[in-house]
Amino acid sequence: MSGGLEFDEDTSRKVEALYLTPDVVEQRCLVLKALQLREGERVLDVGSGPGLLAYDMAASVGPVGRVCGIDISEDMLAMSRRRCANQPWTEFQRADATKLPHPDDAFDAAVSTQVYEYVADISTALAELHRVTRPGGRVVVVDTDYDSLVVYTSDQARMERVLSAWGDHFVHGGLPRTLTGQLRDAGFTIRQRDVVPMFNPEYHDNTYARRMLAIVASFVVGRRGVSQEEANAWLAEFSELGEQGKFFFSLNRYLFVADKIAVR
């Protein structure tokens, strides 16, 4: 995880609220559509976080299927176990994406959304993903490219200071740009790639932009010289812009679908 964002209880709750916004609900629909899960299938969720996707996947595969989630954060694991308590065909284990606790070819499908950008050793993580997916199985990976962020501000210098401090929260800020090659190097065949925009041209409460900007404001305090006052002023500008009808936010995530080709 890199000395960046700690997925402790407080952050886990904020991430859960962020991921319940309609923007991220829509992303989960796209992930489920790409996965095409069938009843009885075995699915792995790498970095299962608050368990929102695991819950939906468990509904798709049903009690004769299996959903396994792994995560390095005990607070996230507790949240996902609570969420899926009435789906006993789910299980959540503490493990690292680079060392999956599952046998070879164990899953029909595997998914990892918004996780690999925090994992330093991507080639080992993707090799592990390939190892545990059965021949003929498929994977879906979603990550953000933070250079795709477009936000209106009247104070560009302050924006750059804040974003430079926010840059400490991930290991790979532009992972989607290299994922095609990295998935191929791990042995996968790319089937589909899509952009998933988080586009909020209004500053409304239940939006990805508003909740994400609040997480950024609390993370950056004390990093790279950003003070509490500066972070507060940075965040306050978005409320003002929202009231004036001038708020604008766009950030792209990218979705990859890849297959582990069965050897004949």
Ligand X SMILES: C[S@@+](CC[C@H](N)C(=O)[O-])C[C@H]1O[C@@H](n2cnc3c(N)ncnc32)[C@H](O)[C@@H]1O
Q: Which residues bind ligand X (CB under 6 A)?
A: 1, 7, 15, 19, 47-50, 52-53, 70-73, 76, 96-97, 113-115, 118-119
Q: How far is the CB of 245 from ligand X (least distance, A)?
A: 31
H or E stretch at 130: helix 122-132
Give whichever of 118 and 146 is closer to ligand X, judged by the CB atom. 118
Q: How far is the CB of 67 from ligand X (least distance, A)?
A: 13
Which 3 state secondary structure label does DSSP give 224? coil
- Which amino acid is present at 16? E
Q: How far is the CB of 88 from ligand X (least distance, A)?
A: 21
| DSSP codes joined into one string, 169-223 | G-S-TTTHHHHHHHHHHTT-EEEEEEEEEEEESS--TTSHHHHHHHHHHHHHTTS
**Contacts of residue 203, Cβ cutoff 8 Å, sequence gap at least 6:** 209, 210, 238, 239, 241, 242, 247
Instruction: Give the integer Cα–Cα distance in Å for 31 and 36.
Output: 9
Q: Of all residues in this chain, which one has the CB nearest to ligand X in the complex?
A: 49
Q: How far is the CB of 237 from ligand X (least distance, A)?
A: 25
Give whichever of 42 and 172 is closer to ligand X, judged by the CB atom. 172
Q: How far is the CB of 126 from ligand X (least distance, A)?
A: 12
Instruction: Give the integer Cα–Cα distance in Å for 191 and 11.
Output: 34
Give whichever of 77 and 217 is closer to ligand X, judged by the CB atom. 77
Strands 249-259 and 133-151: antiparallel
Give whichever of 52 and 213 is closer to ligand X, judged by the CB atom. 52
